[in-house]
Amino acid sequence: MSTSEAAVRERLTRALQERDEEIADRWVELQMEQALLDTDIGEAELREEADSLIEALVPGLQSGVPVDRVVTSTPGLHEAVVGLSMRRARAGATPTATSLAVLALKEALLKAVQRDTRDAEELFASAVFMNRLLDVAGALSFETYVEGREEIIRRQSQQLMEQSTPVVRLWRQVLAVPLIGTLDTARTQVVMENLLQAIQDHEALVAIIDITGVPTVDTAVAQHLMQTVNAVRLMGADCVISGVRPSIAQTIAQLGIDLSTILTRATLADALATAIKMIDGPGPDGDEGDGR
């Protein structure tokens, strides 16, 4: 580390330690003035973020790590930037606004340094050092935001998928899964997991997969249905597919899809009646028994 860089680090460290409240206040003010927030994050939370990041900057500057690696190599500082980005992601801020909010710290910090020196060379050296330091922080915040937002979207999609494929108990030892929308690989896995777990929990003997809400059945959808049926059978239960409308039956026939090994019914009511007969057998008059 050169003598000049050491002097810059010392100057910035002193400003952060002696003028931390002033820097934090100015940083929060800049974010609000520049409309860098399009969320419900309040001033108190902004101040808490500022205090955390400013405090973490001090050991980073004192570490002697090259300026380009201070943010990524200092655990507390890295955690502060990542935490800020994740909170902004959850609050719905844009990645650009999040990155710009971090970069706004440059102005607040430089203003604090100006109170200690008016020397043009010292200020220029401090500004260059801060740019290199906080540009990395801005890039990290952008990257963290994007990755965090993708994870949030994946988690929300998973939750929506699970909620959109409920397993319903229709009768004693009879379960049903009403499917709505397209049945792709990811959703098939969720349906299969939920249904198999429900079969075990309820000791079900018949599972009805209702495809009334499925707009069309092609080769891929038929394959997914077959996978689910086979998994149900491995659990020792029978499977009935209901909701086979005329248009779907015609499509299946035209595509040459073989569903001959699967019991199908036109409506959910027909499938339930069939399931009850499979469990209880016909009553004395040929009617299904009471399996409630």
User: Looking at residue 128, what is its pLDDT?
Assistant: 92
Instruction: Tell me what pLDDT residue 249 has.
Output: 85
How far apart CA 66 and CA 246 sit, in angstroms, is 70
pLDDT > 70 fraction of the chain, expressed in percent and rounded: 88
207 or 220: which leads in pLDDT: 207
- pLDDT tens-digit map of 107-158: 999 999 988 888 889 889 999 999 999 999 988 888 888 777 777 666 656 5
Specify the pLDDT at position 240: 94
Mean pLDDT confidence for 233-255: 89
Model pTM score: 0.53
Over the stretch 36-80, which tens digit does the pLDDT of each residue have? 555 667 788 888 889 999 999 999 999 888 888 999 899 999 999
Q: For residue 237, give the nearest of 192, 199, 189 by alpha carbon.
A: 199
Of the candidate ranges 34-48, 202-216, 224-238, the one whose mean pLDDT is the lowest: 34-48
Q: Is 287 left (phi over 0), alpha (psi -120 to 50) or beta?
A: beta
Write the Ramachandran bin of 258: left for phi over 0, alpha for psi from -120 to 50, otherwise beta: beta
pLDDT at 288: 44
CA torsion 38-40-46-47 (nearest 10°) is 140
Spatial distance between the Cα atoms of 290 and 277, rounded to a whole number of angstroms: 10
Residue-range domains of the chain with CATH:
1-159 (1.10.490.130), 166-278 (3.30.750.24)
Average pLDDT, the chain: 84
Quote the DSSP letter at residue 179.
Answer: E
| H/E element, 31 | helix 20-33
